[in-house]
Every structure is written in C-alpha cells, then in structure tokens.
Amino acid sequence: MSDGDAPTSGWMDGPLAVVVGCGGMGTAIARALGRRHPLLMVDVDDRRLSDTIGNLKLEGFTASGQRCDITDAGQLAELGRLLAAGPGVRALAHVAAVGKSIGSWQRMMEIDLFGAVHVAETVGEHMVRGGAAVFISSLASYLPRADSQLDQMLDDPLSPGFFEAIRGYHGGDPDFDWTYNYAKLGVNLLTERKARDWAGRGVRALSVSPGMIDSPMARAEGDTLPSHDGTDARVTRRDKALEIPLKREGSLVEITAVVDFLLSDAASFVNGIDITVDGGHRAEWRKAGITSR
C-alpha cells in the first residue's frame, strides 16, 4: 500500500486550518488547531516554513505549507489557487505581523494591516459554512483616541492616498509605535466588516488583542516599552507588567487557548468582536484615561 493510499482519520481529509505566520504564536496556535484539522501553514520565510512543517509532522500533525508574501498579489493569487483545489477552509488564524525592526513605517503598515486585508480576501472566499477566522491584533489597538474620522480611514486602507491621509491625521509620519497602533486598530475594524460580509455564508470573523505576552517577537523588540504617560518616555518590560492587575505578562499558551476556543464550534455565536487577552490591562488603561476605547 502506498503512502497515498494509507487510511487516515476522517478529519485529516476535511477542511483545512490555515495559519498565516510561523513564528512562536503561529506555531503554538497550529498545534492546537491541528488536533481537529489538517494544517496549511503560510509564511514568507522558506526555511522557517520548512522547519515548522517538519516539526509538526514529527509530532504527528497533518501539515503542509505554502510560501506567500501577503503583500504580493501574485503570491496571494497562488495561495488562492491552492485553496480552490482543496477541501475548503474551516479555520483561519492570521498571526503574521512585524515590529519596528522592519525599518519603514509604510512597510510595517503594508504587512500588518494591508496584509491582513489581503489574507481575508484571499482565504475568505474558500471558507466553508461553520468556519471562523481569528486575526491577531493587539492591546495597542485601543491607544488611538475614539474618532470616527480615523476609523473611516483605517476601515478602507487600500484606498488611494491612504498614507497621505494617515500623515495628515497624525501631523506627520507616525513613529513605529503609532504605526503599529493604527494598523492593529485597522485589523479590529477589518474583522467587524468581515463578520458582516461573511455572516450569510455562516462564517464568523473575530480579532484577539493580546496584551503583554512573553513571546519571541516581543523579546526581539527590546526590553523597553512606551510609558503611555503622555511623554516619549519608555519603561522596562518588568515595570510595565506591574501596571497589569494580574502583575505579570501572559504566555503563548494563554493566547492559544482563547484562539482555539474562538475557532471551535463551542464559540459558534461569538462573532464580529475583539477579545482582549491582557490580564486586565485595558481596564487599568481606561481607569487612568489612557484609552477612550
């Protein structure tokens, strides 16, 4: 009997769980989703993608991969063709994002916001009834002040003149922290829009906003964070964590558990909202007047 003819559990041939981003959080989420679905991992880095798939297969998961730059139209089209030839998508976890190390605020916006929009469009049309998508956002999405003008801009980020509009609103080029804040607010708005667009097909869309999480990406971004005290001051991660009512950072396991729940049938009536997983940090920010959202 060839490998292709070997019998498998029924779910291994069913609709896919697509995970975009093979970093620490994406891989942790894949391990959770892979207990119920065959996995398609998507990443821009060939080596990281290959290593991730190899490790998942060694652990017994059914996993395949597709290299894709989520800002490249041709590569997105190829991802779409691959999905069109398959069994459909039951779960989408969009994790891919970059921090200030990318070096350009425009490029950061293209990946963190435009990329999420492109993934929603490319993968969304292949999602099956009962499916759900979770886009990883950030507690930072709550830092921009509540403003309908800003929300309108971020809800249509692919419109001509978007970068100029952001410059005009911000009063110049935003720094990397504010670019990230705006991009992640745009991700929240994207999921609200997709929750409305996809509802007639029985497909849900949500975002999850982690607070301070001990993750590889967080460590790579350095040991300090903005103070959010109205100045440009920065504080250590340790001191920032003391602002959180639970007095600690969260873990990847704690994020993964929430994403896994939201993408399961147990959350079948949860739709169109952002879930903060932050130890109560947003509640503290609201009390201190740091956020009006």
| Confidence grade of residue 227 (pLDDT, cut at 50, 70, 90) | confident
pLDDT of residue 228: 81
Rounded Cα–Cα distance for residues 258 and 275 (Å): 9
pLDDT of residue 76: 98
Edge-to-edge strand ranges of the sheet holding 89-94:
63-67, 39-43, 16-20, 89-94, 127-136, 204-210, 274-277
Q: Which domain holds residue 260?
A: 12-212+249-278
Mean pLDDT of 127-149: 97
Asked if 134 and 94 count as a contact pair (C-beta separation under 8 A), the reply is yes
pLDDT of residue 6: 46
- Number of domains into which the chain is organized: 1
Mean pLDDT of 277-283: 97
Is 53 a member of any domain? yes
Measured between alpha carbons, how far apart are the two ends of the chain, in Å? 59
pLDDT of residue 3: 43
Listed as own residue / partner, the contacts of 45-54 with beta carbons closer than 8 Å and 24 or more positions apart are: 48/22, 48/23, 49/22, 52/22, 52/27
| Confidence grade of residue 215 (pLDDT, cut at 50, 70, 90) | confident
Is 106 a member of any domain? yes
| Confidence grade of residue 221 (pLDDT, cut at 50, 70, 90) | low
Predicted confidence (pLDDT) per residue in 232-256, tens digit: 788 888 888 999 999 999 999 999 9
pLDDT of residue 4: 44
Out of 93-102, 140-149, 181-190, 232-241, least confident range: 232-241
pLDDT of residue 1: 31
Predicted confidence (pLDDT) per residue in 85-101, tens digit: 999 999 999 999 998 88
Is 179 a member of any domain? yes
Is 286 a member of any domain? no
Percent of the chain residues past pLDDT 90, beyond the cut: 84
Angle of helix 252-262 versus helix 24-33 axis, rounded to 10: 40
Is 222 a member of any domain? no
pLDDT of residue 11: 57
Is 4 a member of any domain? no
Domain of residue 156, CATH code = 3.40.50.720
Predicted confidence (pLDDT) per residue in 6-65, tens digit: 445 555 678 999 999 999 999 999 999 999 999 999 999 999 999 999 999 999 999 999
Is 125 a member of any domain? yes
Out of 93-97, 221-225, 267-271, 284-288, least confident range: 221-225
Statement: residue 124 has pLDDT above 70: yes
Asked if 146 and 292 count as a contact pair (C-beta separation under 8 A), the reply is yes
Is 292 a member of any domain? no
Residues paired with 251 in a beta bridge:
214
Structure token digits, residue 244: 């959180």
Q: Which residue has the tokens 């435009």?
A: 114
